[in-house]
Structure 1
Amino acid sequence: MTPRRALPFLLLALPLPAAAEEAAWQALREGGIVLFRHAIAPGGGDPPGFRLGDCATQRNLDDTGRAQARRIGNALRGAGIAVGAVLASEWCRTTETAELAFPGRVQAAPAFNSFFADRSTAAPQTAMARAILLGWPGPGALFVSTHQVNITALTGIVPASGEGVVLRRQGDALVVAGRIRP
């Protein structure tokens, strides 16, 4: 068979996006873990003078991001996902994303704080985050609102704002089950 004639057969072998996303939802129904990059917060990084705990010094969600965060929570509830715990980095944009998605349930988790500005903390933070994820006992799914750098360090995936990367535990490993697009 010529390469040109083989192409349609190769395309049929690729997973369909809808099927891949359904695998992510199923993993969450079975008590998986979802790492959501915070909702839309215009810009990149944090402004000069950034201080943890002072939202006025940080890059924050805009109205579009707030609406996106609410949709994230609604999507998980609408898909019948029982969320057992909600963790968020201590940055205002991640905490607000989690709070708008799951009001009153957010727990601060410094292991998921951004290390964008200080890469020297990447390895120990990622190890702490991985330990938290591997230790998730359930019941229900674990929802984590964090940053692109953290998700990329844990999975190799660069998510969009408001995108979720779903993981499941496989022995001592975390395996990507799929993605939930914003």
Structure 2
Amino acid sequence: MRYSISGFRGLSAWLLVLVSSLLFSSSIKAEDRLFWQALAQGGKVVLIQHALLDEAVGDPFSLDPSCFIERNLSEAGREQARSIGEAFRQQGIKIDAVWASPHCRTKDTAELAFGEFEVKAELRLIRALTEEQANANLRWSRQLIGNFNAEGNLILVTHRPNIGELIHQRVRPGTVAVVEPLGDGLFDLVATKVFD
């Protein structure tokens, strides 16, 4: 039986792609397991960036009780928010409270995903605030997260810059970050998941 070198190369390349895809798939599943296991244990703080926006309309920095001048969720974002909540319900995740920034896009994400929620001014978009107020809100958030102590989980629906400052990672709409409180205002990032 004869084998050509080019045949071996083709077979080797194919095997490499197969092994790589299997390893990638198993690492995704392991991350998914870690994400849901951490939430099932309870006692975590969950940072959620609001869902996808309609980028063509509205001012991202404004607060408007009517939501008319704000940048709001797109239809895809509304569906994304619902899918986050449905996944939490399917997994039986215990939630102690859901808090949202006062912007319409975060309130809508919280309501579509979880139903009841409470507005917390401290979760407002930090880029819409003075530097002094933004820093004060971030200090409040760090203390809240680090000192959280309950059986269930606390959900905080907020904004990309806020979450980025807290976990030092770039996030995108629909990102959910699970954080482990350590006391004294300290915490560790456990896992993240993006709901598309």
C-alpha offsets along residues 35-82 of structure 1, whole Å, 9 cap, x if unaligned? Answer: 010011132996288234231010001111111111000011111211
Q: Aligned partner of 1:98: which letter?
A: A
Question: How far off its partner does 1:170 sit?
Answer: 2.2
Structure 1: how far apart are the matches of 2:29 and 2:172?
Answer: 18
Structure 2: how far apart are the matches of 1:38 and 1:49?
Answer: 14
Write 1 or 2 for the structure with the bigger share of helix.
2
Find the counterpart in structure 1 of residue 192 from structure 2: 179
1:95 to 107, 121, 146: 107
Unaligned runs of 5+ in 2: 1-18
1:139 to 151, 168, 177: 151
Give aligned pairs, total. Answer: 169
Runs of 4+ in 1 over 6 A off after TM superposition: none
Following superposition of structure 1 onto structure 2, how do residues 23-172 of structure 1 map, counting pairs within 5 Å?
Answer: 23-31=34-42, 32-43=44-55, 47=59, 50-103=62-115, 105-118=116-129, 120=131, 121-172=133-184
CA contact (8 A) 2:60 2:71 kept: no
Structure 2 vs 1, CA of residues 139 and 44 (structure 1 numbering), >3 Å: closer, same or farther?
farther
CA contact (8 A) 1:49 1:57 kept: no
CA contact (8 A) 1:87 1:145 kept: yes
Structure 2: how far apart are the matches of 1:34 and 1:107?
Answer: 15
What is the TM-score of this pair, normalised by structure 1?
A: 0.84
Structure 2 vs 1, CA of residues 147 and 18 (structure 1 numbering), >3 Å: closer, same or farther?
same
SS at match of 2:190: strand
Query: Is the deviation greater in 54-63 or in 38-47?
Result: 38-47
C-alpha offsets along residues 127-151 of structure 1, whole Å, 9 cap, x if unaligned? Answer: 0111222232323111111000110
Unaligned runs of 5+ in 1: 1-7
Structure 1: how far apart are the matches of 2:194 and 2:40?
Answer: 17
CA contact (8 A) 2:48 2:174 kept: yes
Q: Aligned partner of 2:34: which letter?
A: A
What is the TM-score of this pair, normalised by structure 2?
A: 0.78
Identity of aligned residues (%): 32
Task: Tell which structure's C-alpha radius of gyration is larger.
Answer: 2
Which of 1 and 2 has higher RCO (CA within 8 Å, sep 6+)? 1
Structure 2 vs 1, CA of residues 176 and 33 (structure 1 numbering), >3 Å: closer, same or farther?
same
Find the counterpart in structure 2 of residue 3 from structure 1: none
Question: How far off its partner does 1:101 sit?
Answer: 0.7
